[in-house]
Structure 1
Amino acid sequence: MMKLYRRQFTALAAATMLTLPALGASAQEVTLKLGHLANEENSWHKASLKFAEDVASLTDGRVEVQVFPNESLGKEIDLINGMQLGTADMTITGESLQNWAPMAALLAVPYAYSSLEQMDEVASGEIGDQIEAEIIEKAQIRPIAYFARGPRNLTSNTEIMTPDDLDGLKLRVPNVPLFVKTWEALGAAPTPMAFSEVFTSLQNGTIDAQENPLALIESANFNEVQQFVNRTEHVRSWIYLTISEMSWNKLSEEDQQAVLEAAQNAQDYERELFLADEERLEQVLKDKGMTFVDSDAEAFATAAQDAVLANVSEDIKPVVEELFAAQE
């Protein structure tokens, strides 16, 4: 099991004494609203419900967590802003936090993590500590657990084995400059586009290909307009379960400990769901007629690294160089 957040327990007393309420804090009743963008079938939502259940149990009902899926409390950035203002309590968020804490960009750098295991080592190690500390300091939001995301793969109507096969491929990418520059360097013709427009654009030939995790490939029915899933696995990333520092500081030390324990339980539970879901999704897409191609991930990674280093911010460039070196 990952011990990621248990290491925070012993440091809590010193960090929280200044903000603890007066005597009787353990009897205080607090309601925390947790809003996120995923739907009810998503492993993040199921893990959030597990978190809420454990928080209630571990605090003897002193802390209640209410979970709101489907952006029903607001979009990700709106919730982050609300958490900083004290009008929202919790959300699930990731590299969007780089708007405040530059190191959060490390959550989704192309080819920075060659495997789920290596990503775990970074997220739960010294670099992860630095990312979390900067988010707490600069965004006033506290990561208390993390969830893995499925690697992004390239779908197309031709097999893509090596970067040479990308020549001129009209590829939809999210509007992330690092992604655009990296695909350009690999030889494709990347086209930033809203996700809602992708299916129609594939259908009418405006674009040839797109890239996303299996969960989105399946839920968007891209199998109807794309034949191949090319295992480029070009971005592995994680995302944090977070709490506003304002909301965190309303909790007694005892309840903070309980919240961290519940968060660790949720992290472990989500990982089980995630691994099972990745296996299920591949079979579902195959059953719907898609062919999986074992692309030369090493060739893609090698070709992409220079472009990544040329386009990441100076704040994180040394860390990205270190992550690339660790794979050699």
Structure 2
Amino acid sequence: MKKFKWMAMFTAIILLLSACGSESSSGSGGEKKIKWKFGHLADENHIWHKTALEFADLVKEKTDGQIEITVYPSNQLGGETDTINSIKAGTADLVISGETMANWSPKAALMAVPYAFRDANHLQKVVEGDIGKEIEEEIKEKVGLTPLYYHTRAPRNLTSNKPISTPEDLKGFSMRVPNVPLFLDAWKAAGAKPQVMDFNEVFTGLQQNVIDGQENPVDLIHSGGLYEVQKYVNETEHVYSWIYILVGNKQFEALSEDNKKAVKEAAKEAQAFGEDLFDKEIKEYEQKLKDEGMKFNEVDQDAFREVMKPAIKESLTDEQYKLYEEILAVE
């Protein structure tokens, strides 16, 4: 009888372990098999998801099947912050995140400061240079996540149901921003009434008139189906930014040296794959939004830049502002 009780307890323990985020089992050759969960907010047609699937295939191939990554799009594992917390708890393993990490890592706020980057070329020089490395190190230390590769994002634009061309048009305008204090302060300074909301709540918020608008790159405007509830893309182009694909430090450090090397190689190849997709698809997303009936409205960007400047200086700490000035100085 004791034997049967022991076997029942053993079975229960195995079932419990199999429910965890990073699952382990033996492969056909007896090697340890690792199963990672990768959650992000974009839909299945988005560049991030397509690249994530490519990355998962590359990792599986380069580790001879030892690491299997299942990708969960459309916030299936929860919102961005939820997924980061799940990684810390060990029930998820990878996420796509950017300036939201400023809630843990102050330097991550510089990933999306309004009007900090002149264009995509300026952005790339910063990300792949010393400033980018400095930000990555702090994310690793303070968020507990290891950046693997990144996506350049299309510039963020403001959407609405009325044309917004100058800051004066923002009076009484209620809008969603991500959980980034700097965004709240900048849009308040511009005259809007910003509020924090998870991206998965934005469509309903617009549909029910809880908010009047939101700001995001054209790919996420399309991915979120916002063309169904918004008429205008106002070309503020207020933020050029990038976003990282990250794995939990503990999950990454638990790998063998060979598997760490394989994951890094896969990440480098996924980076190139994503860049090719980005170049091809961003213009297509703009056209798709136009085809869905959205109108692109020209904006006085200098006016928005000027009204946001004081809020940026006031919102950033001395250390952050120093890094901001270093970014502006990159040629």
Task: State the TM-score, normalizing by the size of structure 1.
Answer: 0.80
- Asked if 1:113 is matched to 2:134, the reply is no
Q: Which residue of 1 aligns with 2:129?
A: 125
SS of the residue 1:316 aligns to:
helix
In 2, Cα distance between equivalents of 1:198 and 1:64: 32
Identify which of 89, 108, 116 aligns with 2:93. 89
Aligned to 1:171: 174
- Give deviations 1:239-270, integer Å, cap 9, x for gaps: 21112222222222222111111001111212
Helix, strand or coil: the match of 1:234? strand
What is the alpha-carbon distance in structure 2 between the residues aligned to residue 242 and residue 317 of structure 1?
25
Structure 2 unaligned blocks of 5 or more: 1-28
What amino acid sits opposite 1:35 in the alignment? F
Deviates more, 1:267-276 or 1:189-198: 189-198
Structure 2 distance, partners of 1:159, 1:195, is: 22
- Structure 1: which 5+ residue stretches go unaligned? 1-25
User: Matches of 1:193 and 1:59 in 2, distance apart?
Assistant: 39
In the alignment, does 2:237 pair up with 1:229?
no
* Residue 12 (structure 1) aligns with: none
Deviation at 1:106, TM superposition (A): 1.6
Is 1:30 the equivalent of 2:27? no
Residue matched to 2:312: 308
CA contact (8 A) 1:309 1:321 kept: no
How many angstroms apart in 1 are the aligned matches of 2:314 and 2:69?
43
Alignment check: 8 A CA contact 1:151 1:234 kept = yes
Give the deviation of 1:322 after TM superposition.
2.6
Counterparts of 1:1-328 in structure 2, within 5 Å, are 28-37=31-40, 38-166=42-170, 168-174=171-177, 175-192=179-196, 208-326=212-330
CA contact (8 A) 2:126 2:330 kept: no
User: Structure 1 residue 139: deviation in Å?
Assistant: 2.6
Aligned residues: 301
Superposition deviation, residue 192 in structure 1: 4.7
> 1:231, CA displacement in angstroms?
0.7
After TM superposition, give the deviation of residue 129 of structure 1 in Å: 0.4
Greater relative contact order structure (CA < 8 Å, 6+ sep): 1
2:154 match: secondary structure = strand
Cα shift at 1:126? 0.7
Per the alignment, residue 14 of structure 2 pairs with none
CA RMSD between the two structures = 2.8
Q: Which amino acid aligns with 1:246?
A: K
Contact 1:228 1:292 in 2 (8 A): yes
Q: Which is further off, 28-37 or 220-229?
A: 220-229
* Separation of aligned partners in 2, 1:202 and 1:161: 20
Q: Which amino acid aligns with 1:29?
A: K
Local SS of the residue matching 1:318: helix
- Amino-acid identity (%): 44
Residues 75 and 200 of structure 2 are in contact (CA less than 8 Å); yes or no, is this contact kept in structure 1? no
Equivalent-residue separation in structure 1 for 2:281 and 2:37 (angstroms): 23
CA contact (8 A) 2:100 2:180 kept: no
| Aligned CA distance change for structure 1 residues 61 and 230 (closer, same or farther; 3 Å) | same
Counterpart for residue 16 of structure 1: none
Q: 1:201 deviation in Å?
A: 6.1
In 2 relative to 1, CA 126–30 (structure 1 residues): closer, same or farther, beyond 3 Å? farther
Secondary structure of the residue aligned to 1:231 is strand
Asked if the contact 1:173/1:179 (under 8 Å) is kept, the reply is no
Report if aligned partners of 1:146, 1:267 keep a CA contact under 8 Å in 2. yes
Is contact 1:170–1:191 with CA below 8 Å preserved after alignment? no
Question: 1:324 & 1:28 partners in 2: Cα distance?
Answer: 49
Q: CA deviation at 1:279?
A: 1.0
Give the C-alpha shift of residue 291 in structure 1: 2.0
* Paired amino acid for 1:34: K
